[in-house]
Structure 1
Amino acid sequence: MDTAGFLATPEPTAEAQRLFDDDVAELGYVMNNSRLWAYQPETLSGLFELIRNANANANAGDGLSLRQRGILVTACASAFGDSYCALAWGGKLAGLSEPETAAGVLTGTDTGLTPEERAMAGWARKVARDPNGTTEADVQALRDAGFSDPQIFTMTVFVALRLAFSTVNDALGARPDQALHASTPAPVRDAVTFGRPVAS
């Protein structure tokens, strides 16, 4: 049986084919998580649109840069134990900085980050691991690092929505693609020692 994670491959639809075509145009292959989300490609599009809107609707100056988004996703994916997003966004962050910087975010050392970025990464890990365990002091630490309350709200929504995406992928057995793993810098690959193994 052809599978998408733990599920049978869904019947093809025009919406799913567009999802696959976008992958091929951007990456040269269809991602394993796209095969899984072929069950509800419109839901995936809606989720990503919600993530974009959360950042776009931030007040002027309160939106997240691509590097900041890379730090947040890489930190929360590693804390959550999601190897797929850790490889994908760790690789993106490596391209926006250095492979060693991305590896540092994955391992929690945060080598190469500014003090402000370290605060962001620490917050993303707390949200991913135990959102009920955060305190006013944790939020104040973000303020002390220079973030406004609107910025703190934006980064929290961003992390929470990324975790929703990871939860579906991880729970239903989507494994990182061989091509993704092969294209990721070695320091990033070596730092991803958690989550589901790379697809064979």
Structure 2
Amino acid sequence: MSDDERATGFLDEPAELTESARALYAEDVDDVGYVMNLSRAWAHDADTLETLLGLSRTVAAGAGLTPRERGVLVLATTSTMGDAYCSLVWGGRLAGWASPDVSAALLTGRDDLLDPRERALATWARAVVSDPNGIQAADLDELRFAGYDDAQILAITCFVALRLAFATVNDSLGARPDAALRTTTPAVVVDAVTYGRPIAD
């Protein structure tokens, strides 16, 4: 089997798992019922993964983001960069917090099912991912009009950047979305993800 066909990506799974890697695998099994493909790559340094995701949770809390708002930011980020893995995982999550149609619309660049605060988040995430140097001071106005203060805007931007970093590592190392996502993610969400690495066989 070629590297391109391996669901777990281009890295070999560690021959021996550290305590942190075993904890990562156990958390996956508790959460989703199996060890995720991306976790097999991150098992080489599970502590760094926990630091990255922990920092992401910290800045999201600092911004006062609800789970639904975090979902909006993640989907706007991952669909803009073309990351299928997090789009499918978080598309399923946002489908539960909002609806499958909200997730599918956001993944295809439509914000008409979002409220004004969520639309501001989606617009900002896309700008941060696609052209951060093209952002002008006036581009922050939509966030401010939506009620976010400067400290929250910093935290929101950090959250987007951290999610971008996480997805970039997964995609660069060839991790394919888990096969189970075909059936655990609403079909309308799966159909909306027409980019990135294909779901594993």
TM-score normalized with structure 2 length: 0.93
1:109 and 2:110 are equivalent in the alignment = yes
Q: Percent identity?
A: 55
* Letter in structure 2 aligned against 1:119: A
Per mean C-alpha deviation after superposition, the further-off stretch among 113-122 and 3-12 is 3-12
1:8 aligned counterpart, secondary structure:
coil
Whole-Å Cα distance in 1 between the matches of residues 134 and 195 of structure 2? 23
8 Å Cα contact 1:107-1:191 kept in structure 2: yes
Q: Deviations along 1:102-131, whole A, 9 cap, x unmatched? A: 111101111310022111101111111121
1:47 and 2:52 are equivalent in the alignment = yes
Whole-Å Cα distance in 1 between the matches of residues 146 and 64 of structure 2? 16
Per mean C-alpha deviation after superposition, the further-off stretch among 36-45 and 6-15 is 6-15
Whole-Å Cα distance in 2 between the matches of residues 138 and 181 of structure 1? 37
Per mean C-alpha deviation after superposition, the further-off stretch among 23-32 and 47-56 is 47-56
Whole-Å Cα distance in 2 between the matches of residues 91 and 181 of structure 1? 11
Whole-Å Cα distance in 1 between the matches of residues 16 and 128 of structure 2? 36
Aligned to 2:9: 5
Q: CA deviation at 1:25?
A: 1.1
1:34 and 2:1 are equivalent in the alignment = no
Unaligned runs of at least 5 residues, structure 1: none
Q: Deviations along 1:91-111, whole A, 9 cap, x unmatched? A: 100100110011111011113
Q: CA deviation at 1:49?
A: 1.2
TM-score normalized with structure 1 length: 0.93
RMSD: 1.5
8 Å Cα contact 1:100-1:111 kept in structure 2: no
8 Å Cα contact 2:60-2:70 kept in structure 1: no
What pairs with 1:86-165 in structure 2 (closer than 5 Å)? 86-165=87-166
Q: Deviations along 1:103-162, whole A, 9 cap, x unmatched? A: 111011113100221111011111111211111111122112222111211111101001
Whole-Å Cα distance in 1 between the matches of residues 159 and 135 of structure 2? 16
Whole-Å Cα distance in 2 between the matches of residues 11 and 43 of structure 1? 19
Q: Deviations along 1:9-49, whole A, 9 cap, x unmatched? A: 22232221111111111111110000110110010011111
Aligned to 1:174: 175
Q: What is the number of residues matched between the two proteins?
A: 196
